[in-house]
Structure 1
């Protein structure tokens, strides 16, 4: 066969193959088009029930919401007892506040009620006449769960830390999770002015074998500034050594009478909302 005829035959064969492949890639004239997915409806992800319960907020941020338990309204300490012997709290009430009073031998006080998960509002003041330095300058503590006598539990520190002028370790300054975490910032007001803690507390839970199922978590606003954001605690507060957990279900809220000459610390406007 002549070379020209061979080339013509090869060209013809390649065109046939190309046509077959092209035909295979095209859908049949009457083939159905792929079905489009149904158009999403925004209502599919709308949740309408159950309705959250209505809570009437205070007229200002410091006023009590309608569903809160008032732990101190300025008039008495009926919601508090002495930790040591469970007798009525002996701190001094006057002027819409109550004040640590070591002379009465009261010691630490705690709520009569026990709580698990909660939102807490509390206001505290170091006296303007405060003396001392470091941990001796207006030292007290808010125990978010009082799990035993003395200083057992989980402590949020109270101390004069205005403008970082009082030199002390940062995981022991105001709004620290004592000996665990320093606050993210320091919005403390000077001695003689009221400070505010707003706290969300998530209690730890435990397995049947007493191991930790879920650790305690806390969020703290200090004078309206977020200083702890859902922080996972390492265990209960200890002064020496490393923290650890011990099982409990619910516990009172405790205020510390530290025992140094820098007191008296004062408190007012305390309320709690149970979240469990």
Structure 2
């Protein structure tokens, strides 16, 4: 027993001795040598160019003003919205459109414009549309400039879930910008293991700050999750001639 205790004490003393030696050695280093201990050299981030007003070099351009080759109708077949003078406009009654490609975690840039409202338009009728991430999670598009509606349904809201921090909506007929950072939910089978998160900048202003979604956005009833994988981005036909331009997306992936 005493031998065992003696061995334990010796080991402990040895540990303190090693720690002391390391501290003494560290004290003998130059500052630049100490700093080197916390430098991480791998992995090296890939190079991306980002010129002003242009999509980043690694972006997937979803609409560049020429055609709808990246899109299709949610009802099947070709997307039937109007493309004219570099602008994509909802053709009411033709239905929503979605990307042919599916996405998970993304940085999404969308520019949109609401037309001048008719005199009797108010609230949710004020030139309504939406940007759906993974066809489930809607960032509202609406003319919310000097127009009253329920705040969790105004422009840049996570529809019926999260009120924007501020109202950054420009006047109708002016172009608006959404920059959206979306982290997709994770599932293990049917079980949710990590919820979705979204950050939204509206005209350069943070209006949703890493908001945790409580499920897919719903017009009626509470939100809930259902297991799914990567899915398309969808734009809404809400019977109003809302226009879009300069749509691009970057897939966010961990460094390797």
Where 1:135 maps in the other structure, the secondary structure is helix
1:16-27 aligned at under 5 Å gives the runs: none
Where 1:45 maps in the other structure, the secondary structure is coil
Deviant stretches of 4+, over 6 Å: none
1:54 and 2:43 aligned = no
Corresponding residue of 2:71: 80
Q: Which runs of 5+ in 1 are unaligned?
A: 1-33, 147-152
1:112-191 aligned at under 5 Å gives the runs: 112-131=100-119, 132-146=121-135, 153-162=136-145, 165-191=146-172
Q: Which runs of 5+ in 2 are unaligned?
A: 1-19
1:95-114 aligned at under 5 Å gives the runs: 95-102=85-92, 105-114=93-102
- Cα distance in 2 for partners of 1:113, 1:257 equals 19
Where 2:37 maps in the other structure, the secondary structure is helix
Instruction: State the aligned residue count.
Output: 226
Normalising by structure 2, we get a TM-score of 0.85
- Cα distance in 2 for partners of 1:251, 1:45 equals 39
- What is the CA-CA distance between 1:112 and the residue it aligns to? 0.4
1:208-219 aligned at under 5 Å gives the runs: 208=189, 210-219=190-199
1:94 and 2:75 aligned = no
Specify the structure having the higher radius of gyration (Cα). 1
Normalising by structure 1, we get a TM-score of 0.79
Quote the RMSD (CA, aligned, Å). Answer: 1.3
